[in-house]
Structure 1
């Protein structure tokens, strides 16, 4: 997904300088298996999510992001937690520096998911222990650890 108009308007004024943004993260799980996505820009596995647009409810942003990235519908079961700080800071290949404060939501998948080829290389289901063996964004370890143990 290309940069939102909102972020693009800020970037036009500040260039690649650090920008703090609100985000949402979908912890889509079935029992102790979690859906992860391997992202095109990094090749790393992570949870699905993205930015909250101005005036958008975070839960609506979550539904939108999952639909955009996977074509799937989800049901939100609750909030896992809120995460930020150094582990959530990223420098993208174009040099843009971003820090996210993300609200992670416990979710149930309601329809089939297919990766959006512009953003994702693949989707996969992984048990907690298997996630530790993946090349991944390490901040997800804390989110997975905080997630409920079963449906």
Structure 2
């Protein structure tokens, strides 16, 4: 994930200390029920598409923007799937971030899936029963996006 300019500006003052940041994840389905994934250039692993909203940008707008920027697929957001505070991450340069992830179920409405920026090595559509090696983060979000249940969140008082 490319670091937005506003975070670089924050780091000039904050150094490597923990930054609490919003993040969005898009679970994009096509009409055949396949899910859109990108193989990340930073880790080499397959993952859902996501990113960080710009200041003042609505999270759903960010999800649509990130999908098109990274994959050339146009999509619409159908619903909020889950919200979750993730564990802090320490990057190779020592920067520490913790993300509040908002995951959206999206529907593809146009475009052809392709690598559209330097954040992905490959982009593709996968049936949910034949996913590539995908971390539990992605698998659980796909599962929640397929359910018709309410938005998932960690209930108050849960350890």
TM-score (norm 1): 0.84
Larger relative contact order (C-alpha < 8 A, sep ≥ 6)? 1
Cα deviation for residue 149 of structure 1 reads: 5.5
Is the contact between residue 18 and residue 97 of structure 1 (CA under 8 Å) also seen in structure 2?
yes
Cα deviation for residue 144 of structure 1 reads: 1.2
Structure 2 CA distance for partners of 1:77 and 1:68, relative to 1, 3 Å: same
Structure 2 CA distance for partners of 1:27 and 1:75, relative to 1, 3 Å: same
TM-score (norm 2): 0.80
Is it true that 1:8 corresponds to 2:8 in the alignment?
yes
Is the contact between residue 86 and residue 101 of structure 2 (CA under 8 Å) also seen in structure 1?
no
Larger Rg: 2
Cα deviation for residue 104 of structure 1 reads: 1.1
Deviations 1:38-78 (A, max 9, x none): 10011111110100111111111112211211122111111
Is it true that 1:36 corresponds to 2:37 in the alignment?
yes
In structure 2, the gaps of 5 or more residues are: 149-159
Aligned counterpart, 2:122: 122
Aligned counterpart, 2:94: 95
Cα deviation for residue 90 of structure 1 reads: 2.9
In structure 1, the gaps of 5 or more residues are: none
Aligned counterpart, 1:106: 105
Give the count of matched residue pairs. Answer: 146
Aligned counterpart, 1:80: 81
